[in-house]
Structure 1
Amino acid sequence: MTGAATPSRFGEGPLSRAAALVYTLLVVELLLVLTTAPGLVALALLDRDVSNLPLVALCAVPLGPALSAAVYALHHQRPDLTDLHPARVFWRGYRRNVADALLVWVPLLVWLTVLAVNLAHLPSAGVPRWWAVPLVLVGAGSAVLGAHALVITSLFAFRLRDVVRLARFFVLRTPVVTLGTAGLLGAATALLATSPALLVALAAVLALALLRGGDPMIAQIRKEFTA
């Protein structure tokens, strides 16, 4: 006869793991809001005008390191309810990744701002309206590439040029990840346009979705490009 199954210790069952995830998401959400608060406040005070697009990008600068720290904290979260330190892990990720995250995030913001300004001024520039299609496609591709790069730099210690190469490589290598990231960015853009407050409230959930969607890419990088 086989022996009875060993019961799970407290903190290791499915309900405990779910509670641990919810608690981690709440803490990460709070820290995301805290670290991006200056930009959020300034953004709320700006008029919705095309001329303010560069200022909108400036307000979004703190989001890069904060999102990187959130991805790091969620990736390193412990499923054991009795051993949770999400705030400590978030700040460790923030300190570890802030410089590299900015190197990825700021050029992406500048490039997307240039595209957005050009899109906004197409009629006044006398450019055919169909030019909006390639500009939007370039912007979407750049955003997906930037999201890949941010996830990679959040979890691995590669040089910037290697991060960019890997991000570009995995856009085609892992199409499921690319399509999932594109869909997630599309949803975030729709929320930004319709309910910015809801987007802020769901920031940690979106960071988790970005991380989980990128699992195949993360696994391949760990297998093929790390010792």
Structure 2
Amino acid sequence: MSDVKADQRFGTGPLSRAAALIYTLLTVELLLLVTSAPGLAGLILLDRHASNVPLAALCLLPLGPALSASLYALRHRRRELTDLKPGVAFWRGYKANAGGALKIWAPWLVWLTVVGTILGNFSAAGVPGWWAVLLVVFAAVSTLWVGNALVITSLFAFRAVDVARLAAYSLGRFPGATLANLCLLIVAGGVTLVATEMVLVLLGSVLAAALLWNARPMIAEVQQRFTA
């Protein structure tokens, strides 16, 4: 009887759960890097110049499905050390959601390309200075929107247009989550300015976990109101 109870307790304690979380994050991070490696290799070779903004966006295209699969794997992760299959969950999410993620991710990258190109050549555009502030605000809002959209399309089976509407609706419906994601965005922007984009990619699974944590109210409402 004592052996049975010991077996039941194994892998369920605080240290085991922490180890399970770390293992899951590391596995998801590795798979994220593998699935987005072709684009990341090109991104490393690009200089930070306005003329390279379209190429940078093209290099970031594979990252969308990879982030979606990461969100799926983290959402469906097991808590027990003896029952971990993050790799299986990642590939299941990647196969199921890659197309839906690209329908959200690609238009967002196109929008950021336009904004980045304009800001990179702002002095030659001949427009008022407040346009730059407006463009930055629009870019930030669209980034908050794409974060919500990736979470929704990774966890639920909705049409792209419905995902887009729910993501936009959630920005105002859950101001706490939106503010938390804004703080996450500011930190990510600061890391990119101080270091490189690759640092963010190396923290991809951690950022995905934080995004998923912030999205808990949104996920709960989508489950209750928009799924059977």
Scaled by the length of structure 1, what TM-score is found? 0.94
- Distance in 2 separating the partners of 1:145 and 1:223: 21
Is 1:163 paired with 2:174?
no
Which secondary structure does the structure 2 equivalent of 1:158 belong to? Answer: coil
Q: Which region of structure 1 is more displaced relative to structure 2, 93-102 or 186-195? A: 186-195
Matched residues in 2 for 1:98 and 1:69: separation?
8
Match in the other structure for 1:3: none
Moved more, 130-139 or 64-73: 130-139
Instruction: Verify: 1:216 aligned to 2:217, yes or no.
Output: yes
CA distance in structure 1 between the aligned counterparts of 2:55 and 2:70, rounded to whole angstroms: 24
Q: Deviations over 1:2-25 (max 9, x none)?
A: xxxx88611111111111000000
Cα separation, 1, equivalents of 2:161 and 2:49: 35
1:193 deviates by: 2.2
1:169-198 superposed Cα distances (whole Å, 9 cap, x missing partner):
111110011111122122222222222242
- TM-score when scaled to structure 2? 0.94
The residue that corresponds to 1:186 in the other structure is: 186
Q: Distance in 1 between matches of 2:199 and 2:49?
A: 21
Tell me by how many angstroms 1:134 deviates.
Answer: 0.8
* Contact in 2 for aligned 1:122/1:128 (Cα 8 Å): no
Structure 2 partner of 1:226: 227
C-alpha contact 1:153 1:163 (8 A) present in aligned 2: yes
Paired residue for 1:28? 28
Match of 1:144 in 2: 144
Report 1:58-77 matches (<5 A): 58-77=58-77
Corresponding residue number in structure 1 for 2:206: 205
Q: Give the Cα–Cα distance (whole angstroms) in 2 for the partners of residues 155 and 212 of structure 1.
A: 13
SS in 2 for 1:78: coil
Partner of 2:86: 86
Q: Once superposed, what is the RMSD of the aligned Cα atoms?
A: 1.2
1:188-212 deviation line (CA, Å, top 9, x unaligned): 2222222224222211101100101
Cα distance in 2 between the residues matched to 1:226 and 1:182: 27
Instruction: Output one character per residue of 1:122-168: Cα deviation in whole Å (capped at 9) or x when no partner.
Output: 21111121211111111111111111111100000001111011111
Higher helix share: 2
Instruction: Using the TM superposition, name which of 19-28 and 197-206 deviates more.
Output: 197-206
String of CA shifts for 1:47-97, please: whole Å, max 9, x gaps. Answer: 221101000000000100000000000000000110101011100000000
Alignment of 1:124-139 (within 5 A): 124-139=124-139
Hey, which bits of structure 1, 4+ residues long, moved more than 2 A? none
How many residues were matched structurally? Answer: 222
Give the AA of the match of 1:107: P
Distance in 2, Cα, partners of 1:143 & 1:33: 21
The 1-side partners of 2:56 and 2:71 are apart by 23
